[in-house]
Copies of this chain bind each other. A is one copy, B any other.
Amino acid sequence: MVKLTDVARAAGVGYGTASRALSGKGPVGGDARMRVLEAARELGYTGDATARALRERRTRSVGLIVPDMTNEFYTASAEVLQDVLRTAGHHLFVATTGNHPGRDQEALKEMAARRVDGIVHVPSGPPATHPSPVPIVELNRYSGRNVPAVVSDDFKGVKELTDLAINSGYTDITAIVGPDTYSTSRDRLAGFKAAAQQAGFEENATTGKRLRVMFTDFTAEGGARAMHSLLPDLPQAVLPLSSRLVMGVLRTARESGIRIPDDLALAGYGDPDWFEIWGPGITTFAPPLAEMGARAAETLLQLIDGNQPAATINRIPGELRLRGTLSKAIQ
């Protein structure tokens, strides 16, 4: 692998001069500069980032820790995150945790060892007790750790979604959410309850307006199971509060011959592109994934530059997408 001394020799200049010419950082004679650049091109010189990192004490790389690369809920943010960071000269180290808190800490440690300049973290467990040696921004979920977090305003979004269902005339509504160890579950559930209770719904009411809540895994299987247990006593409307939960609910509904929205109305969360073309279209709350990715990147860049961003938890509003699964709503 050709190195700086090779280039310097070929250009007939000293070591330091070659370095300055390539980096453009110091004074260099126009003639010498040209000869160095020429020689570098000739030899196919590619600076060694590991050596540079050691010397400069920064890697121009940032770590991204997500539960799962196959979930568009994370990758939609990651894509623009990557764009913003690349523009700023940073590249991405990625680790997945499978939502396993142990691997979560492992990944954090690995990133620290690699001396990344910063970390964007979708936490899947409680915060680490040790403070991090590198700047961290949490994305999508917040762990309670004292670092900036960029999340969707799920409380507001789900509240509005629930209002929509209520205003459509349904009086028996069930929400399905993930484990309440995740901030996302708690926020979405809070939004649901706020809307329902404000409208006079009561938990486990046998008459009048009735709300129910089911906890399960944030997976299609979890959604399918929850829906299955609902079968004996179907509500009028179901709100699976993640796109994977929606998937599970639809699977079970299909197997059980339940027609949506005829037999059961539905409003979802998230907006993978198939929501638009499924049946009559799935009414949903769409979090601003792209914007969240951009904001997380910008916040992290601030942190890396030594500035302290203002807000700790940054809630970005999403939007309701009205389609056909909440039938009466679109009349």
Question: Which A positions have Cβ atoms within 8 angstroms of B?
Answer: 1, 44, 46-51, 53-54, 59, 61, 64, 68-70, 72, 75-76, 78-79, 82, 86, 91-96, 109-110, 112-115, 130, 133, 220, 247, 250-251, 254, 272-274, 276-279
Expressed in whole angstroms, the Cα–Cα distance for A95 and B68 within the complex equals 17
Residue pair A114, B49 in contact (C-beta under 8 Å): yes
Q: Counting chain B CB atoms within 10 Å of each CB, which of A46, A49, A78, A273 scores highest? A: A49
Residue pair A93, B92 in contact (C-beta under 8 Å): yes
Expressed in whole angstroms, the Cα–Cα distance for A109 and B70 within the complex equals 26
Identical subunits present:
2
Expressed in whole angstroms, the Cα–Cα distance for A110 and B85 within the complex equals 14
Which residues from chain B contact A47 at a C-beta distance below 8 Å? 113
Which residues from chain B contact A113 at a C-beta distance below 8 Å? 46-49
Residue pair A48, B115 in contact (C-beta under 8 Å): yes
Expressed in whole angstroms, the Cα–Cα distance for A167 and B45 within the complex equals 58
Which residues from chain B contact A82 at a C-beta distance below 8 Å? 69, 94-96
- Known A95-B91, A277-B250: A44·B78 in contact at CB below 8 Å: no
Which residues from chain B contact A251 at a C-beta distance below 8 Å? 276-277
Expressed in whole angstroms, the Cα–Cα distance for A51 and B54 within the complex equals 6
